[in-house]
Chains A and B, each alone.
Chain A
Amino acid sequence: MEHRLRTPLRDEDVAKLRVGDTVYISGTLVTARDATHMLLLDMVRRGERPPVDLRGLALYHAGPVAKKVDGEWKVLACGPTTSMRMEAFEAEFLEVTGVKLVIGKGGMGKRTADAMRRLVAAYAIFPGGAAVLAAEAIKRVAGVYFLEELGIPEAMWVFEVEDFGPLTVIIDPTGSNFYDSVRERAGRAIEEILKG
């Protein structure tokens, strides 16, 4: 099934997503990789407020190729990064920020899937490495935070996007994980190959 969604996402937008569905998203996308996850979680633990209210927004595991043209940031390439690096932080991150859709590549683990079931959230992938394709849908850089401390890849970028996708739902709000089934099948294939 295909869905066209716009931020802020409500529970009922996300609840209908299922593994294998295609999603295009419009609105606000915020990037965070390892360092920004840790930094924002620390801020929240100290009782501080993150620089952007993330409730209902989509989180993008990505770090762009970007350059400044006439004082405005322009994103040239921005495909997803490997999401599994954020597995240790994501459940808590979803809990404290209210992010509804996580976009990345390579899948996430059981802790995140459990949190997504509890919090009505989903994880979808953009084809990894298809960075120029992704940049086409980024219409404007609305802001960038922690750039000085963390550098371009790890900074928190706020993008305005139009029909960002196609995304494929890998973890849905029932907690089902598409990659688990691929891995199970492949595990059986190993046995067959080694026997033969």
Chain B
Amino acid sequence: MDLGGVVKDVVKKIVFLGSIYIPDDVAASLKAALDRETDPNAKFMLSAIVKNIDLASLRKVAVCQDTGMPTFHVALGDGFPIRSGLLDIIRDAMREATKEIPLRPNTVDPFHEKNPGDNTGRYVPWIDVELIPGDYVEIAYLPKGGGSEAPNKAFTLPPGVAWRELRKRLLETVVEYGPMPCPPTIVGIGIAGTIDAAVKLAKKAALLRNVGHRHEDPKVAQLELELLRDLNRLGVGPHGVGGVTTALDVHIEYAHRHPAAFSVAFVFSCWATRRGIARIYPDGRYDILSHPETYKKVFMEVPAT
């Protein structure tokens, strides 16, 4: 068995699934918002969104033309036999999937303005690696749209005023950028002792955690719900046209901070939050964690006998 070949094939599958099929938790939350909204403009935008999700699955084409910045999160188990080789495998898979699905090539050299046309480039796909116990690897494809990068923020606050200031800046950011990040968004908030750690945690919170899942610490979970309620009282709404659905969820992740530094980051993810996640074992078996049902339907459908 060629394990490298299996990994490449599975990465291409999660890129395919992630680019076309909005995960169930996100889709269900958008549909619930459509039922809840009474504002006609908000309803109009949400019904277009829901219709588009269905149409993308039906046509098997990318749900949004901005197929995102190619980004992966790899949780690598101690016992998984392929280690640094994963980086090249992911890169090759991304290149092939871009052509085959197809995806929009989204990598631009900032100095020469050239786009190589295959969704690779310097440090791209961007791959974050986390070491975990176990013998498997879990690979998450997390394409991130460009519009939702605009409002992202990171700053360090004096600890004495941090909580009040965090809430104020979050509300101000959401109003200032209004429709730009394609609301309703998922808001990731990272809290740490350094800016880079806060950003890393905020990104993970926004992209990896399912809508409706609360932080395991009840105090953090309560703040998530309070901030979600505040955001949805602003009246920004879907695509900024008004209504009560400005955010689908708020996810907070934190690390212990420095006594003098309370670093905070906001990372926004658009309504079309996409993920494709698979776990691969050393013997070549794998599970598609993000789209188990869709995977069976699309890749394993056998004709009825």
Contacts and interface: CB of A to CB of B under 8 A. Distances in A.
B230 to A, nearest CB: 5
Nearest to B171: A190
A183 B175 contact: yes
A133 B108 contact: no
A110 B147 CA distance: 20
Given A65-B103, A151-B108, A185 B179 contact: no
Contact of A79 (B66, B105, B235): B66
B102 A79 contact: no
Contacts of B113: 35, 150
Contacts, number: 165
Contact of B106 (A76, A153, A186): A153
A185 B230 CA distance: 14
A182 B104 contact: no
A94 interface: no
Interface stretch (B195-203, B236-244, B275-283): B236-244
Given A82-B150, A151-B108, A129 B168 contact: no
Contact of A130 (B49, B67, B180): B49
A189 to B, nearest CB: 5
B56 interface: yes
Interface string B224-238: 000000100111110
B62 to A, nearest CB: 5
A137 interface: no
B104 A153 contact: yes
A186 B231 CA distance: 10
B61 A125 contact: no
Interface residues on B, range: 35 or more
B65 A186 contact: no
A43 interface: no
B7 interface: no
A37 to B, nearest CB: 14
A79 B65 contact: yes
A67 interface: yes
B41 A168 contact: yes
Contact of A189 (B49, B66, B108, B234): B234
A12 B55 CA distance: 36
Given A82-B180, A132-B63, A182 B235 contact: yes
Interface residues of A, number: 48
A105 B105 contact: no
Interface in A2-36: 20, 35
A152 B49 contact: no
Q: Specify which of A106, A130, A151, A192 lies most central, judged by the most chain B CB atoms within 10 Å of its CB.
A: A130
Given A132-B52, A168-B41, A189-B233, A78 B179 contact: no
A98 interface: no
B178 A131 contact: no
A189 B174 CA distance: 12
A173 interface: no
Interface string B63-88: 11111000000000000000000000
A63 B65 CA distance: 7
B235 A186 contact: yes
Interface string A107-139: 100000000000000000101111111111000
Given A81-B147, A127-B48, 14 more contacts: A65-B103, A65-B104, A79-B66, A107-B179, A107-B240, A129-B52, A131-B63, A131-B66, A132-B52, A132-B62, A166-B48, A182-B237, A186-B178, A190-B172
Interface of A: 20, 35, 62-67, 76-79, 81-82, 84, 105-107, 125, 127-136, 150-154, 166, 168, 178-179, 182-183, 185-187, 189-190, 192-194
